[in-house]
Amino acid sequence: MNPHRQQTAAISIGRVTIGGGAAVSVQSMTNTLTSDAEATIAQIHALTLSGCDIVRVSIPDSESLAAFAAIKRASAIPVVADIHFDHKLAIGAIEAGADAIRINPGNIGAKDKVKAVAQAAIAREIPIRVGVNMGSVKRALLKRFGDDRVGALVESAREQVMVLEDLGVNAIKVSLKSSDVRETIEAYRRYAAISKWPLHLGVTEAGTLFSGSIRSAAGMGILLYEGIGDTIRVSLSADPVREVMAGNILLECLGLRDQGIRVIACPTCARACADIPTIAAQVEEAVSGIKTHLVVAVMGCIVNGPGEARDADLGVACDTNGAMLFVKGHPLKRLAISEIVPALLKAIEKETSS
């Protein structure tokens, strides 16, 4: 763990502690129609199996609200209700059992409506996440700060949090997102310097699975390495399970999560004696839900392969005669190339079940 992590206030979202030195959690958001409770519950189940800690569900209308209570009851992980514009939906979600709500006080309506939402959250003792995106910053603030767009974003968050604090809300989580990685980093840095509340990290509208994962890792990786951030979402235009997988990998490689299978694989070149990209991808996909921490190596030739495979918890090193399976640094047996994936999965199962 980073010994220099910023110490923020601790809040509870269901059984998950956010801030206060607790482990950084991974979040995602369903993309099914919330009004379709069966589909949404199935997706939450898939997210849970992939290692998601907290899930967020959008409630855009009364049909979605009607389905929310059943969704909440069926979920094995805490559920955050995401609401914009309609304070009655926010109050309804709270009454239906939401573990937290996500609002933007600036678009929820007049002060009396914000107060009603705040009072409902206080009564149920659940947190409110203030989510501010660059696109939601009021024009007056943007004009006031001129070229300092980050300053406008931070001030917007500060003002909205202050509204809730003045109403007596004592469990708040804050996000300040931009689709620009540099703006996102600077916004979180500035806000972390003036606030005690835990921070939810993310690069909003990061993009597709490939480019979005890179932008998210660049932005959140820098902040997490600096000790900033208590919970994360890798926001992708992709299957939400991929968001969770990417988030877990990010935390694991920074030493912030000591769980999950890390699959290392050599870059391809003319020396490769097997289809390493396909083998590594098949193994990584198959073990994505395993929480035990292991390093598994898939190496393509004899140049670095035997050494890397020995250094891992288990792995294979390919050569012109097939591959050698290594477990805990010791060669175990020779394999045909076609045997690599099932042999690795069997070895992983043995290690994680013992």
Percent of the chain past pLDDT 70, that is, above it, reads 99
Tokens of 278: 């396909």
For residue 302, the enclosing domain spans 261-353
pLDDT of 3 above 60: no
Among the candidates 253, 276, 302, a domain finishes at 253
pTM of the model: 0.90
**Is 125 in the same domain as 244?**
yes
Could you tell me if 235 and 188 lie in one domain? yes
Listing DSSP states for 86-145 in one string gives -HHHHHHHHHTT-SEEEE-GGGS-SHHHHHHHHHHHHHHT--EEEEEEGGGS-HHHHHHH
Judge whether 4 lies within some domain: no
Structure confidence at residue 40 (pLDDT)? 98
Q: Are residues 244 and 270 in the same domain?
A: no
In this structure, are 233 and 113 located in the same domain? Answer: yes
Instruction: State residue 253 phi and psi, 5-degree precision.
Output: -75, -15
| 82 close to 29: Cβ distance less than 8 angstroms | yes
pLDDT category at 161 given cuts 50, 70, 90 is: very high
Q: Are 243 and 279 in the same domain?
A: no
pLDDT at 1: 44
Q: Does residue 2 fall inside a structural domain?
A: no
- Supply the pLDDT for residue 302: 85
From 253, 273, 295, the end of a domain falls on: 253
- pLDDT over 90 percentage in the chain: 77
> 222 lies in a domain?
yes
Mean pLDDT over 70-77 rounds to 97
User: Is 80 exceeded by the pLDDT of residue 2?
Assistant: no
For the chain, the first-to-last Cα distance in angstroms comes to 26
Query: What digits encode the pLDDT tens for the residues 219-231?
Result: 999 999 999 999 9
Highest mean pLDDT among 156-160, 189-193, 202-206: 189-193
State pLDDT tens for residues 96-131. Answer: 999 999 988 777 778 889 999 999 999 999 999 998
* Residues 274, 310 within the same domain: yes
Question: In 3D, which of 251, 292, 235, 245 has the Cα closest to residue 52?
Answer: 245
pLDDT band at 207 (very low <50, low <70, confident <90, very high): confident
Residue 320 is assigned to a structural domain of this protein: yes
Over the stretch 165-177, which tens digit does the pLDDT of each residue have?
A: 999 999 999 999 8
pLDDT of 6 above 90: no
Report the chain's mean pLDDT, rounded to a whole number.
92
- Rounded to an integer, the average pLDDT of 208-217 is 94
Can you tell me the distance from the alpha carbon of 221 to that of 141, in angstroms, rounded to the nearest whole number? 29
More confident residue, 15 or 268: 15
| Residues 207 and 347 grouped into a single domain | no
- pLDDT (0 to 100) of residue 187: 96
CATH number at residue 179: 3.20.20.20
Same domain (yes/no): 105, 217: yes
The predicted-structure confidence for 279-323, as pLDDT tens digits, reads as follows 999 999 898 878 899 999 999 988 888 888 788 899 999 999 999
Are 211 and 242 members of one domain? yes
